[in-house]
Amino acid sequence: MHKGFKVSLVIPAYNEEETVASVIQDFQTQEALDEIIIVDNNSKDRTAEIARRMGVRVITENKQGYGHALRTGMDCAGGDILILSEADGSFRSSDVNKFLAYIEDAGMVIGTRTTKQMVDQGARMTFIIRMANVLWAKILQMLWFFTNETRFTDVGCTYRALWKETHMKIRAGLRGVGPEFSPEMMAEGLRQQVKIVEIPVKYFQREGGESKHSVSYYHLVRTALKMLRTIIRKRLERPVPRAPA
């Protein structure tokens, strides 16, 4: 609980049996979290079994993809404030209170991994990846320059927080399936006049497994192009009306 508001942590997971227990254990140290939700996205290993054994809520999403898993997790979350993170150990629970401090004055708080001093030496954040994220973030920022006063330096950081009310406001405009879902959330928030704040977060080397989107330069380029297409598409689309409560 944070100042009378219930807080839910939503973590999508696909074949993360090597890391999910340590990640849950880390976030369980945060007293502000009222529930931890693991969204099992068709894992072939013991991810769901381990998460249940750790005493957290496990939801199954059969439609494959990061976007599907997160939408379902946020839909099912009971919190007033939703915090999104990863099951691979690349983020730490110590940043939770920072997100909660900033969400008091914003509709959405986005993490950034482009502050070099806060990136672990072994993390998958090379100069090229960092600069690509900065460039795409600046394109996103400039496309909404005259309607939203925002400053972005990272479109790919998946550690973020938003109000459940914000999720319901932007939900109808989200259809990304893969990593493009992250900049899509930001773009749809800007289209819906949501106040978005960016904060630096600690970023670490994965504790196990392998990234599905940065295993090679081919995958990196493919991901980058998907993100750019999504950003431009969102700027050209008309805002989707919010569904009635």
List the one residue out of 32, 42, 27 whose CA is nearest residue 7: 32
**CB of 136 within 8 A of CB of 155?**
yes
Confidence (pTM): 0.90
pLDDT at 205: 86
> Is residue 13 included in any domain, yes or no?
yes
Query: 11 lies in a domain?
Result: yes
Task: Say if residue 26 is exposed, middle or buried (CB neighbours under 10 Å; 0-12, 13-18, 19+).
Answer: middle
In a domain, 209, yes or no: yes
Residue 243 covered by a domain: no
Q: Would you state the pLDDT for residue 237? A: 85
Domain count, the chain: 1
Give the pairing of strands 108-112 and 160-163.
Answer: antiparallel
**241 falls within a domain:** no
Domain-located, residue 242: no
What pLDDT does residue 148 have? Answer: 78
User: In the chain, which residues have pLDDT < 70?
Assistant: 121-123, 208-216, 239-245
Which 8-state DSSP code applies to residue 6? -
Is residue 91 a contact partner of residue 201, using CB atoms and an 8 Å limit? yes
Q: Residues 119-170: pLDDT tens digits?
A: 876 667 788 888 899 999 999 999 998 777 789 999 999 999 999 999 999 9
The boundaries of the domain holding residue 122 are 7-236
In sequence order, the 6+-apart residues with CB closer than 8 A to the CB of 170 are 185, 188, 189, 192, 194
Which of 193, 169, 174 shows the shortest CA–CA distance to 245?
A: 169
2 within a domain of the structure (yes/no): no
What are the structure tokens assigned to 185, written together? 């959330």
**pLDDT for residue 129:** 87
Q: In whole angstroms, what is the distance from residue 91 CA to residue 99 CA? A: 13
Q: Residue 1 domain-assigned?
A: no
Q: Tell me, what CATH number does 138's domain have?
A: 3.90.550.10
Whether the Cβ atoms of residue 159 and residue 85 lie closer than 8 Å to each other = yes
Compute the residue count for the chain.
245
pLDDT of residue 209: 55
Tens-place pLDDT, residues 160-175: 999 999 999 999 999 9
